[in-house]
Amino acid sequence: MWHIYLKELLELSRDKRTLIFSVIMPTLIIPVLMLGVGAFTGSKIKKEESAELPFVIINEARMPELAEYFTPDQNFRKLAPESFDDIPGAIRSGDLRFALEVPEDAELSADDQIQLKLHYNGASSLARIMTQRVNNVIDGINQTRQARWGKQLGLTKEQVGVFREPVAVERVSTASSREKFGELFGGIATYILVLLAITGAMYPTLDLGVGEKERGTLETLLLTPVSRFRIVMAKFLVIFTTSFMTVFLTLASYLVWALLLGNVFAAAKIGEVLGTVGVADVLLIALMLLPVTAIFASLMLSASIYAKSTKEAQSYMSPVFIIAVPLVMFAMLPGVSLDWGWAMVPVTNVALAIKELLKGTIDYQMLVVILVSTSVVASVLIAFATRWFNKESVLFRS
């Protein structure tokens, strides 16, 4: 048994594909990708920790000293509330990062507490860092005032600690339940849909590409009076159809379950949120996934055309997963939002668009940009697959 084991192990070690996918990839490529994502996340968080935060104070006259603690040295920039007709709207758009509301009847004394309201966008991936920065300032205010009380009353720090904190903060998110839902589950939904698109394309690709070689039917197909471009396009369309059908059926089942949840759990918040994502939103998500599915279908078709065997084709298709997963993960990182730059990054742009569609905050101009940029990438890859299929050295590798 051990002789056979050593023999098979030795043969595998001589296989370049085994070395690449079993040794080099887990020890070099995947750690580099993970470190890269980690470094990118760290840089975004560090940038947010020192980013300038424009804010307003509502009813500032009731507590005029409050603004003194939010200094430009700490990267806070106070604006006048009168500059904004709609403060919640300005927070959602990003023109303001937060607003502090002082109660109309605020009176600060040792036995009373001012309850400030912190208005912010709870659907933002960077909200936690922003609110922590605000809380740090409020903690400083409380420590200063408690120290002053202790000095006036002749009390120790521990004795002053018996009093309630002079200033407390109540968080009030301007984000709707749908926005929070989209921010939380948008990336996860895209991750699932992308994996379904890849797996839906893999098996038909193996059959239509390298499967033709192993069955010996490729030569017969090439002798038919059909151009190679038409042959490739026919194969591509079959792969694309099966892949997209997997995604489409998943989205269609979502609509059915959303309807059931809306009826059965009408009183539950999840039912309310699911009910706000309508048929038009789901159809737009499907539209966004069309060119992405075409990208995966053309990539896998090229790999299957090049491979000499099914086993080799599967090895070549594995990197598609490795490439797709980090691209989807970028959309889940803090500080990454849909803009003109990210709209040009394949897969990531669609993941961000789906997140915005689920949140109900999509910029429809961006949808057009994403469709065009992703379709261009898909067209280039289809052209490459066609060129690959025209090479005899590729079709009949020995």
pLDDT confidence tier of residue 266, bands split at 50, 70 and 90: very low
Residue with tokens 């023999």: 7
Q: pTM for this one?
A: 0.74
The CATH H-level superfamily of 51-175 is abc type-2 transporter like domain (3.40.1710.10)
Alpha helices by DSSP H, listed for 176-266, are: 177-208, 210-215, 218-223, 228-264
Q: Point out the least confidently predicted range of 174-183, 262-271, 284-293.
A: 262-271
Question: Which 3 state secondary structure label does DSSP give 349?
Answer: helix
CB atoms under 10 Å from CB of 117, counted, come to 15
Residue 317 to residues 205, 246, 329, Cα–Cα distance (Å): 10, 18, 20
pLDDT at 380 over 90: yes
Eight-state DSSP code of residue 16: H
Q: What residues are paired with 101 via a beta bridge?
A: 58, 117
pLDDT, one tens digit per residue, over 157-203 is 665 555 667 778 888 888 777 777 777 777 788 888 888 888 888 88
Q: What is the rounded average pLDDT of the residues 207-214?
A: 83
pLDDT, one tens digit per residue, over 51-66 is 888 988 888 888 888 8
* Amino acid 372: pLDDT: 92
Q: 248 with 292: CB under 8 angstroms? A: no
First to last CA, the chain: 32
Q: 80 with 60: CB under 8 angstroms? A: no
Which token pair is 73?
A: 């040295």
Q: Point out the least confidently predicted range of 27-41, 132-146, 361-375.
A: 27-41
Q: 254 with 193: CB under 8 angstroms? A: no
Distance CA 100, CA 55 (A): 8
Question: Mean of the per-residue pLDDT values for the chain?
Answer: 78
pLDDT confidence tier of residue 293, bands split at 50, 70 and 90: very high
Rounded to a whole number, what is the largest CA-CA distance in the chain?
101
Eight-state DSSP code of residue 170: E
Top-confidence residue, 246 or 148: 246
Q: Point out the least confidently predicted range of 89-93, 239-243, 261-265.
A: 261-265
* Amino acid 107: pLDDT: 63
pLDDT, one tens digit per residue, over 71-128 is 888 899 988 888 888 888 888 888 888 898 888 776 655 456 778 888 988 877 778 8
CA 193, chain centre distance (Å): 12
Which one-letter amino acid corresponds to residue 98?
A: F
Residue with tokens 């390298």: 210
Give me the residue spans of the domains in the chain: 1-49, 51-175, 178-395
